[in-house]
Amino acid sequence: MPGLGQRAFAESLGTAFLLAAVVGSGIMAQKLAGGNVALALLCNTIATGAILVVLILMLAPISGAHFNPAVTLALALRGETSWTDAAIYLVAQLAGGIAGVEIAHLMFELPILQRSLTERAGAGQWLAEAVATFGLLSTILGVRYRTPAAVPYAVGLYITSAYWFTSSTSFANPAVTIARALSDTFAGIAPRDVPGFIAAQFVGAVLAVVLARWLWSRASVKANAAPIASGKPA
């Protein structure tokens, strides 16, 4: 098994690429869509879903490809990840996410340090984040039960879909949420709205763990040695 340092780096690298794709594609889409928000969101969606598949395939053999504190929490609650490793993963994910946002800004010659002004609040948004995260974790844990090799594709497709059927555009990831607060671009979220999103995401993750214990036994999943995955944006 790779060492903890290698696994933490993989988590940081994967989360950085994820945020660079989310924020960078949002900037590019907004530039090219000519004011058509639906088209810009579609472009942002495709880039995010595609990069998730690639990152999970590339880094799952190293760290499990969580790229998401909600995923790490769920696996720690299931006893599949130690709490010490989970804490280190969390720090790596946050650092990688922030780095990815800053790199996206540099690529498009924007100020590195920003603060989003995009408001995303309200009961509907919070419910959407709980649903989005519940769905993401259920996808990961459920698909691992019988077809673990399909997890990267299932996660990419789920996020691509959830971008459009949730009112929040499915952040479903606390590290992504925090990092996006540092970008006043298409993918941003105002810092004051971050706590509500994160609380909803953790509620969704815990509910998914409860469901998984009933529907999919942990023993069967461990026997399949599945890769894990992460969540996303817009």
Q: What is the CATH number of the domain that holds 124?
A: 1.20.1080.10
Tens-digit pLDDT profile for residues 49-79: 999 999 999 999 999 999 999 999 999 999 9
Tens-digit pLDDT profile for residues 124-150: 999 999 999 999 999 999 999 889 999
Q: Is 230 within a domain?
A: no
Q: Is 115 within a domain?
A: yes
Tens-digit pLDDT profile for residues 99-121: 999 999 999 999 999 999 999 99
Q: Is 60 within a domain?
A: yes
Q: Is 204 within a domain?
A: yes
Number of domains in the chain: 1
Q: Is 35 within a domain?
A: yes
Q: Is 229 within a domain?
A: no
Q: How many other C-beta atoms lie within 10 A of the C-beta of residue 107?
A: 13
This prediction's pTM: 0.92
Q: Domain range for residue 134?
A: 4-216
Q: Please enumerate in sequence order all residues whose Cβ is within 8 A of that of 187, keeping only pairs 6 or more positions apart, or say none.
A: 22, 23, 26, 44, 180, 233, 234
Q: Is 170 within a domain?
A: yes
CA–CA gap between residue 87 and residue 18 (Å, rounded): 20
Q: Is 234 within a domain?
A: no
